[in-house]
Amino acid sequence: MSTDGDTHPGLGVTITAFAVIIFLQVPVAVVVLAAFSTTSYLTIPPQGLTLSWFGKVLSDPTYLSAIRMSLILACGSTAISLVLGVASAYALFRKSIPGSEAIIAFLMAPLVLPAVVIGVALLQFYSLTGLRGSLVGLLLAHVVITVPYIVRSALASLSGLDLAVEEAARVLGASGFEAFRLVTLPLIRPGLVAGALFAFITSLDNVPVTIFLIGANQTTLPVLIFSSVEMGVDPSVAAVSTLLIVATGIVLLLAERRAGFHRFV
């Protein structure tokens, strides 16, 4: 039993936390191990060790095309969401806008609504507007599901901002945009990095919305993996999943070292 004022968790809490972490990481370990198997089917533990499945993925035009499409959508939607999300959050933070709570709830709605519902709704809307199967329509759909992450992180960062610093810059001659770019933006950058990472990963990993809107000649990596699993799993699926895990880990590590975004997640 902990003494008064002792903030350290008890032994039971620590053991439970480690057990949960291990439970969550077991599927990741299984996928990574399966990627090195010499067999043509998934097996754990792997029968031998080989890197041939990684070579197959990186030389397969289907996988390369899917990776390229996923990166285009993830980078494009993240960039657009950053502009729209930061502008929206800044306006809601600085101005007394009537119905601001309702506006925030509207912007956050994609986090609450099931992704399948969003996908079906956009499919019907795109069928009426002619955007179904187009890259522009797919990009806009990804913007819809990624903007909330930017708005949330931007509002969290702005809530801890001292407005007197920005006002001081304007008193010293900076315009409103210059004060925001030179003073406010650097101060909220860690939060924006966190939001951008969540937006990028959400777009890169999205299946429920993308699968409804993607064209016949288009595919993204998550949709390709989903289709491959339906038709039968081989270690190439585990290999491309392992590459995604490693790439995500590297990006998160670099972002943490440069921006220290852990304070905002």
What local confidence, expressed as pLDDT, does residue 145 receive?
A: 92
In this prediction the pTM is 0.81
d(CA 217, CA 195): 31
What local confidence, expressed as pLDDT, does residue 204 receive?
A: 87
Domains and CATH numbers, the chain: 61-264 (1.10.3720.10)
Residue 8 — very low, low, confident or very high, per pLDDT cuts 50/70/90? low
User: If you search the block for the tokens 């390709």, which residue do you land on?
Assistant: 224
* Angle subtended by helix axes 135-159 and 61-94, to nearest 10: 40
36-55 pLDDT, tens per residue? 877 776 667 767 777 888 88
55-77 pLDDT, tens per residue? 888 888 888 898 899 999 999 99
Does the pLDDT value for residue 83 go beyond 90? yes
Inter-CA distances, 151 with 105, 115, 195, 202, Å: 11, 18, 8, 14
99-141 pLDDT, tens per residue? 788 888 888 888 888 888 988 999 889 888 888 878 888 999 9
Please, what is the average pLDDT of the chain?
A: 82
Which region among 92-106, 182-196, 249-263 has the lowest average model confidence (pLDDT)? 249-263
d(CA 262, CA 213): 34
Per residue, the 3-state secondary structure of the chain, as one string, reads CCCCCCCCCCHHHHHHHHHHHHHHHHHHHHHHHHCCCCCCCCCCCCCCCCCHHHHHHHHCHHHHHHHHHHHHHHHHHHHHHHHHHHHHHHHHHHCCCCCHHHHHHHHHHHHHCCHHHHHHHHHHHHHHHCCCCCHHHHHHHHHHHHHHHHHHHHHHHHHCCCHHHHHHHHHCCCCHHHHHHHHHHHHHHHHHHHHHHHHHHHHHCCCCCHHHHCCCCCCCHHHHHHHHHHHCCCHHHHHHHHHHHHHHHHHHHHHHHHHCHHHHC
Does the pLDDT value for residue 24 go beyond 80? yes
Q: Which two tokens stand for residue 106?
A: 């509207």
Does the pLDDT value for residue 220 go beyond 80? yes
Evaluate whether 150 touches 239 at the Cβ level (below 8 Å): no
More confident residue, 138 or 217: 138
Give which of 26, 29, 49 is closest to 39, Cα–Cα: 49
% of the chain at pLDDT higher than 70: 90
Does the pLDDT value for residue 85 go beyond 70? yes
